[in-house]
Amino acid sequence: MYSEQVRREAMDQSQASGELTLSGKVSLVQDADRGPVAGVLLYLPVYEREVGLAGADSSDIFGWVYAPFSMDILMEGIQLDESPIAFSVFDGPEMNERALLYSTIAESDSSTEWAFSRTEQLRISQRIWTVRFLADDSFIQDHQGAEPDVVLFIGGLFTALLTILVWSLASGRERAEARAAVINRELSETEFRWKSALSGAGHGVWDWNNLTNEVNYNKEWKSMLGYAEDEVKNEFSEWQRLVHPEDREKAETAISDFLAGKTSTYSVQHRMLARDGSWRWILTRGAIVTRDSEGSAARTIGTHTDIDLQKKLELALSESDQRFRGAFGTAAIGMALVGLQGEWLEVNRALLDMLGYEEDELLKLTFQDITHPDDLDRDMELLNALVAGKIPSYQMEKRYFCKDGSQIWIVLSVSLVRDANGNPLHFVSQIENITDRKELAKKVAYQASHDDLTDLPNRRLLQQRLAQTIALCRRHKRKFALMFIDVDHFKQVNDQYGHDVGDELLKWIAKQLGDSVRASDTLARQGGDEFVLLLAEISSAEDAELVARKVFYAIREPFDTGLQQFKVSLSVGVVIFDPNDPDSAEELLRKADIALYQVKRGGRNHYRVYKPEDEQSA
C-alpha cells in the first residue's frame, strides 16, 4: 500500500498534520460483481504509545487506519434521475477523464451540447474536489428569465452534495478515531505482554530508535551480562562497545544489510563482554516495527538470548569433529562411515589403498558386496544386535574381496552413531588389514603341528587326530587302523652315508608313502625313523593289510641320491580299533609298537596285525 504514490502522499500528509487526510483518486474493488470503481481513502495515523495527535512524532507511529469510500455509493443520497441538471466530480482542480471521480452523465449523453455550465470547488479533509454542473437547452428554456431560480437550484444541489460528503467524512473520522484509540490501547497492552513474556523467558529486550540512536535495554538484557541497571547507557554505542572486536564487523554488517533491505531478517550470533571480564555468546534478533515517511527504519525492536553454553558445546563438537576428520583422513588403518543399509558414505585413503578401489567406485558398492559369503551371516547378526541396542559395539575377523579379486583378512570394529532421539544414523567402521598376521599365524600353527624335515604332521597333530578319530568311530561304531612304520637299519644308513643322506632318505620315504594313501588318512612322523599311518575308516582287517602292502610297493624302487643308490625296507605293526574296546590313543600306539616288535623279531621287511598273544612274547 505504501508503495503506491497516491496512497503514500495521503499517509505522509496525515502523519505530518496529525489530521484526517483524504487521498486522491484510487481504484477500489469492493464487490467482484461490480468490478473496479472510482473512490477515495480517508487516513488517520495510529501511534505506538497513547499520545495525542499533537504530541506525536514520527518515531511513535505504528501505522494508519483508513476508510474506503466508493463514489457511486457516496452519491446515492443525491437523486437526479429526472433532473435536467447533470454534474461531475473531479479529484483536484483539473477536469479530465483521469481525475473523474463521479458523473451523472451517461455515455449516451457524452456528445450532448450543454447550454449551461457552472463549476464549484470543495475543500474536504485537506483535498480539493472540483464539481461541474451542466444543463441542456430544455432547462434553459424552462427557466428563461429565472436565473435566481437556477442559481438556487444548483446551490441546493451543491449544498446536498456537501452535506452528504461532510456527514460521510465526519462519520468516517469518528469511526477511524475510535478504531485508532482501540488499536493504541491494544498495542500498548500487547507490547507490555510480549515484553513481560520475553523477560520471563530469560530473553533480554532492546528497543532502538533508529532516528536518534537511543536504545532502551531492559533489565534482563543487562543482567544477562552481569551489569546493574545504571552500568549500561541507553545508547547504541554501548552495544558496539560490548561486542567482541572479532565479531563487531560481522554484527554491524548484519545490521546495516538488514536496515538497507538486503536481508529479510536480522539474526546474528556474537560474543559480548560480561561484567566479570568473560565473553558470552549471544544470539541477537530484531525486526523493524516503524518506518518514516521515506520508508526507512524508524524503530527496531529485538531480543538477546544467552547461548553461551550451547555455543561452547557446538564449538567443542566442531573441534571434536575436526579432530575426528583429521584422524579419519590420516589414519594408517581403513576407516569408513557406513549407512544403515550397508552403503559406503565416506571412506579414507587407507581403505581405498587396502582394497584397490578409487573413491567413486567404492561409494557405489555396499560392504555386503565385498564381504566373503562365509563371513556375511555373522557380520549381519552382529550388526542387527548393534542396531537393536543389545551390544554397544562389535569386533570380528572377516574377509574382503579386493577390486582385483584377491581376498584379504581384516579385523572389523563397528560402532553406531545415533541422533539426539536415539535413532540410528550411521555406522563407524575401523578396518585393519591382518592378512600378513593371518598368514604368519597360519605358518606358525603349521610349523607347530608339522615336522620340519618331512613336512608331515608331527606327533602333536597325530595325537589330536587320533583322539578325534577314536571319538568319532566309537560314536558311529566304526573301525579304523593304526600302523607303526619303522625304517630298517636306518642307523647303518647314517653311519655309512652320513646324516644328510639319512635326512634325504626320510623325506623320500615320506613322499612315497604320502602319495600312496588316501587324503582322509594321516601319515605322521613320530620321530627319528618312525612313521605312523592312521587309516580313518576301514571295513575289516583285510583293508588295513591291503594298505600295508601298498606301503611296501611304494618303496620298491631303490633310493637314489644321485651319487649312491640303495634299497630300503620297512617294518610295519598294525592295530585295528574295535569301537567296543576301551582302548585309548596311547594303548593303540602301544599295541601297534608290539606288533612292530614282532615283525623285527621275525626278520624285518614285513607287516603284522596285532594279536592279544603278542603281549606274551613282547
**How many independent structural domains does the chain possess?**
4
In angstroms and rounded to an integer, the radius of gyration of the C-alpha atoms of the chain is: 55
Provide the pairing of β-strand 334-338 with 266-273. unpaired
Residue 483 lies in a domain: yes
Highest mean pLDDT among 75-89, 137-151, 325-339, 534-548: 534-548
CA trace torsion 261, 263, 264, 267 (10° rounding): -130
Taking residues 240-246, report their average pLDDT: 94
| pLDDT at residue number 60 | 61
Judged by DSSP in three states, 332 sits in: coil
pLDDT above 70: residue 49: no
Q: Which pTM value belongs to this model?
A: 0.47
Beta-bridge partner residues of 400: 371, 408
Q: Is the pLDDT of residue 308 over 60?
A: yes
Q: Is 277 exposed, middle or buried (0-12, 13-18, 19+ CB in 10 A)?
A: exposed
Say if 116 falls within a structural domain: no
Q: What pLDDT shows up at residue 74?
A: 73
Q: How many CB atoms lie within 10 A of CB 362?
A: 20
Q: Is the pLDDT of residue 449 over 50?
A: yes
Both 245 and 383 in a single domain? no
Whether 537 is covered by a domain: the verdict is yes
Q: How far is CA 13 from CA 21, 43, 91, in A?
A: 7, 9, 17
Task: Please indicate, yes or no, whether residues 258 and 340 belong to a single structural domain of this protein.
Answer: no
Q: What is the C-alpha separation between 104 and 83, in angstroms, rounded?
A: 10
CA proximity to 429, closest of 483, 362, 482, 487: 362
Contacts 24+ apart (CB under 8 A), 514-519: 514/456, 515/554, 516/550, 516/551, 516/553, 516/554, 517/547, 517/550
Residue 33 or residue 465, greater confidence: 465
Q: Which one is predicted more confidently, 203 or 360? A: 360
503-528 burial, b at 16+ Cβ within 10 Å, e below that, comes to ebbbebbbebbbebbeeebbbbbbee
Please count the other Cβ atoms lying within 10 Å of the Cβ belonging to residue 600.
15
The whole-number pLDDT of residue 110 equals: 59
Do 195 and 237 reside in the same domain of the chain?
Answer: no
* pLDDT (0 to 100) of residue 41: 84
The per-residue pLDDT for 53 is 47
Residues 193 and 209 occupy one common structural domain: no
Tell me the mean pLDDT in the region 292-302.
Answer: 86
Q: How does DSSP classify residue 255?
A: H
Residue ending a domain, choose from 438, 458, 474:
438
- H-assigned helices in 286-401: 308-330, 349-355, 359-362, 367-370, 373-387
Total Cβ atoms within 10 A of residue 155: 13
Q: Do the domain assignments include residue 110?
A: no
Q: What is the CATH number of the domain that holds 529?
A: 3.30.70.270
C-alpha span between 419 and 344 (Å, rounded): 19
Residue 515 or residue 46, greater confidence: 515
Give the angle 35-41-43 at the CA atoms, nearest 5°. 150
Instruction: Specify whether 472 is located in the same domain as 567.
Output: yes
- Strand-strand pairing, 424-433 and 334-338: antiparallel
pLDDT of residue 377: 95
pLDDT digits (tens, 9 = 90+) for 452-467: 999 999 999 999 999 9
**How does DSSP classify residue 186?**
H
User: Are 147 and 56 part of one and the same domain?
Assistant: yes
In a domain, 534, yes or no: yes
Q: Report angle CA 126, 131, 136 to the nearest 5 degrees.
A: 180
- Judge if 525 and 599 occupy the same domain: yes
Spell 492-502 as b/e; 16+ CB within 10 A means b: ebbeebeeebb
Specify if 459 maps to a domain: yes
- pLDDT band at 3, cuts 50/70/90? low
Q: 57-61, 71-75, 243-247, 497-501: which has the minimum mean pLDDT? A: 57-61
Q: Which helix (H) or strand (E) holds 209?
A: strand 204-209
Are 84 and 136 spatial neighbours (Cβ–Cβ below 8 Å)? yes
Q: 487 - beta bridge partners?
A: 570
Higher pLDDT, residue 345 or 73: 345
- Quick one: pLDDT at residue 56? 54
pLDDT band at 52 (very low <50, low <70, confident <90, very high): very low
Q: Please report whether residue 405 resides in a domain.
A: yes
Distance of CA 41 to the CA centre of its chain: 53
- 425 in the same domain as 361: yes
Which of 252, 284, 312 lies at the terminal end of a domain, its last residue? Answer: 312
Indicate the pLDDT class of residue 533, thresholds 50, 70 and 90: very high
Let me know whether 281 and 233 are in one domain: yes
- The overall average pLDDT reported for the chain is 83
Check the CA dihedral 486-491-497-502 and report its sign: positive
- The C-alpha atoms of residue 308 and residue 318 are separated, in whole angstroms, by 15
Write out the DSSP string of 282-316.
EEEEEEEEEE-TTS-EEEEEEEEEE-HHHHHHHHH
Is 388 in the same domain as 469?
no
Greatest mean pLDDT among 75-84, 203-212, 311-320 lies in 203-212
Instruction: Identify whether residues 73 and 146 lie together within a single domain.
Output: yes
DSSP 144-174: TT-HHHHHHHHHHHHHHHHHHHHHHHHHHHH
Domain housing 343? 331-438
Average pLDDT over residues 478-494: 94
Evaluate whether residue 113 is within a structural domain: no
**Per-residue pLDDT tens for 552-605?**
999 999 999 888 899 999 999 999 999 998 999 999 999 999 999 999 998 999
pLDDT in the model for residue 162: 56
Of 376, 411, 438, the one marking the end of a domain is: 438
Whether residue 145 is found in the same domain as residue 156: yes
Query: Which domain CATH number covers 370?
Result: 3.30.450.20
User: Which ranges of 498-576 would DSSP assign to H, the alpha helix?
Assistant: 499-516, 541-554
Checking if the pLDDT of 515 tops 60, the result is: yes
pLDDT given for residue 257 in this prediction: 92
pLDDT of residue 244: 95
